[in-house]
Amino acid sequence: MPGARKHVTLIPNEWSVGKLVTMTTTHAAEAPPPDAPDGLQEHFDATIARDQRIEPRDWMPEGYRKTLIRQIAQHAHSEIIGMQPEGEWITRAPSLRRKAILFAKVQDEAGHGLYLYSAAETLGADRDDLTRRLIEGRQKYSSIFNYPTLSFADVGVIGWFVDGAAICNQVPLCRSSYGPYARAMVRICKEESFHQRQGYELLMTMMRGTDAQREMVQDAVDRWWWPSLMMFGPPDDASPNSARSMAWKIKRHSNDELRRRFVDMTVPQAEKLGVTLPDPQLRWNEESGHHDFGTPDWDELMRVIKGDGPCNDRRMERRRTAHEEGAWVREAATAHAAKQAARAEKGAAA
């Protein structure tokens, strides 16, 4: 491609794990319970102010605990439901190599879900209860996974856009104030960056192929671009919980900041790839040093979040069936653990 840059940075260096610029925020104090021993709230506030971690053994305000459980559970559910759109292509991958890569990627997402459920358990949440809430529609997962995967190019575009957006969202979470969540994020982000690279490499290969393959890539880009921008959530002025999460340093950047970061990161990658992002308003703004871009359809986002996206029913049905069909595995594992415990007790008594 004439004029194209030799290298496209998939993940900008300054956003690499552990190298983020610290954002200063003021901590909104929440009153400790009346029976809390003196100094607990002060200790919590001071820990946050020093940018140190809150650990499971530490006292924390109930609002902080609940916010984290909700966020971590939603994140865990997204990883697990997110296995479905791409998982549907494992049996139809065009080569053994692509099948092995896709298999590994989908398995990674299952692993991410499990780390995150474990992180939620350190806050006193019960994994069964979280799964029940998901299945009963009382807890959400990312809106992006309610869109269909129509061709194998979608696998590449999901890796590039969806894992790319996940990286933008999650790298700052490596410095989240809650220790187990932050530590889970470090490992997850390393794997997400592999996911993004494999997606981009797949698309590069397709773009070097036939006209039909290039059309498949452009079609997938056209369908996934706007839903990917919606992954960052509603605009800041319509995101009431964000300010509190930022004060608690659970969240480090606003939805709009992260969305802009994603656009800035993705535009040169699209140029290098040779695809057009479907936004006539997209252009570089010399003055702001960022790209200007159009507004996602927020009504569509609300509809999808409320359950009326193209694949919500299918995703939930599949998750429910998998849970029911897996009941015997959970029962067997529980029986095995009980047997081992009884044996260990017997051995200790002998």
Burial class (CB in 10 A: 0-12, 13-18, 19+), 37: exposed
Q: Under a CB-based contact definition with an 8 Å cutoff, are residues 321 and 135 in contact?
A: no
DSSP three-state, residue 257: helix
Number of residues that bind Fe ion (CB under 5 A): 6
DSSP H helices, 208-297, are 211-230, 242-247, 255-273
Tell me how far apart the alpha carbons of residues 316 and 319 are, in angstroms, rounded to a whole number: 5
To the nearest whole angstrom, how small is the minimum distance from the Cβ of residue 134 to Fe ion?
Answer: 16
Task: Pick the binder of Fe ion from 192, 221, 266, 296 (CB under 5 A).
Answer: 192
To the nearest whole angstrom, how small is the minimum distance from the Cβ of residue 75 to Fe ion?
Answer: 9
Closest C-alpha among 109, 111, 106, 139 to residue 125:
139
To the nearest whole angstrom, how small is the minimum distance from the Cβ of residue 108 to Fe ion?
Answer: 6
Residue 163 lies near Fe ion (rule: CB under 5 A): yes
Q: Under a CB-based contact definition with an 8 Å cutoff, are residues 102 and 90 in contact?
A: yes
Tell me how far apart the alpha carbons of residues 91 and 152 are, in angstroms, rounded to a whole number: 11
Query: Which is closer to Fe ion, CB of 112 or CB of 223?
Result: 112
Query: Which is closer to Fe ion, CB of 54 or CB of 231?
Result: 231
Length, in residues, of the chain: 350
Tell me how far apart the alpha carbons of residues 263 and 281 are, in angstroms, rounded to a whole number: 12
Query: Which is closer to Fe ion, CB of 188 or CB of 229?
Result: 188
To the nearest whole angstrom, how small is the minimum distance from the Cβ of residue 192 to Fe ion?
Answer: 5
Task: Pick the binder of Fe ion from 75, 98, 195, 214 (CB under 5 A).
Answer: 195
Query: Which is closer to Fe ion, CB of 79 or CB of 154?
Result: 79
Tokens for 50?
Answer: 């020093």
Closest C-alpha among 302, 301, 262 to residue 282:
262
To the nearest whole angstrom, how small is the minimum distance from the Cβ of residue 159 to Fe ion?
Answer: 8
Which amino acid, residue 348? A
Q: Which of residues 97-136 bind Fe ion (CB under 5 A)?
A: 109, 112
Residue 260 lies near Fe ion (rule: CB under 5 A): no
Binding mask 51-80 for Fe ion (x = CB under 5 A): ----------------------------x-
Distances (CA, A) of 78 to 12, 69, 81, 337, 345: 24, 14, 5, 28, 39
To the nearest whole angstrom, how small is the minimum distance from the Cβ of residue 81 to Fe ion?
Answer: 11
Tell me how far apart the alpha carbons of residues 284 and 288 are, in angstroms, rounded to a whole number: 9
Q: Which stretch binds Fe ion (CB under 5 A): 14-22, 129-137, 162-170, 274-282?
A: 162-170
Query: Which is closer to Fe ion, CB of 79 or CB of 279?
Result: 79
To the nearest whole angstrom, how small is the minimum distance from the Cβ of residue 76 to Fe ion?
Answer: 10
To the nearest whole angstrom, how small is the minimum distance from the Cβ of residue 347 to Fe ion?
Answer: 40
Q: Which stretch binds Fe ion (CB under 5 A): 28-36, 40-48, 159-167, 280-288?
A: 159-167
The contact set with Fe ion (CB under 5 A) reads 79, 109, 112, 163, 192, 195
